[in-house]
């Protein structure tokens, strides 16, 4: 698989998105069919769709994913992240760990859905999908 060499999002960057972008650039697997990388990726929200603007040495492509299939996962993920933030310092460690495990499960579910929705447009491994899902979440906040 080829790699992403640059990533930017059209949203206010927060700590989670900065970390996800740094991790993504350090280790990712991202390939477009019939277009050699390395790739530069720009993520944005356009008319309730996730816009992937991809530039490679030989050409550029843009494709969009409907936000509809992600709505419930994004809502659940936001709620669990809020619950985790509220629990910090107020609940015993085992309860915080249980909430965090639930958060990771929802995050993985979002990453797998992203992989499915990208099928035929871009091939990504699960770790890359997880980091991209983090960026999608950051754009929704």
User: Are 134 and 94 in contact, with CB atoms under 8 Å apart?
Assistant: no
Length in residues, the chain: 141
Among the ranges given (15-19, 71-75, 127-131), the one the predictor scored with the smallest mean pLDDT:
15-19
The token duo for 12 is 């206010």
Q: Cα 72 vs. chain centroid, distance in angstroms?
A: 15
Q: Helices 93-118 and 126-140, interaxial angle, to 10°?
A: 100
pTM, to two decimals: 0.91
Structure confidence at residue 14 (pLDDT)? 77
The token duo for 43 is 């993520």
């Amino acid at each position: 698989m080829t790699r992403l060499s640059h990533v930017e999002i059209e949203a206010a960057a927060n700590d989670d998105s900065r970390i996800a972008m740094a991790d993504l650039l350090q280790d990712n697997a991202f390939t477009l069919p019939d277009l050699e990388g390395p790739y530069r990726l720009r993520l944005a929200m356009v008319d309730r769709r996730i816009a992937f603007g991809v530039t490679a040495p030989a050409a550029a492509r843009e494709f969009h994913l409907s936000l509809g299939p992600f709505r419930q996962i994004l809502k659940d993920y936001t709620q669990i992240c809020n619950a985790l933030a509220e629990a910090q310092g107020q609940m015993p460690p085992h309860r915080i760990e249980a909430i965090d495990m639930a958060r990771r499960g929802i995050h993985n579910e979002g990453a797998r859905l992203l992989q499915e929705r990208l099928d035929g447009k871009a091939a990504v491994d699960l770790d890359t999908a997880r980091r991209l899902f983090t960026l999608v979440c950051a754009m929704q906040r």
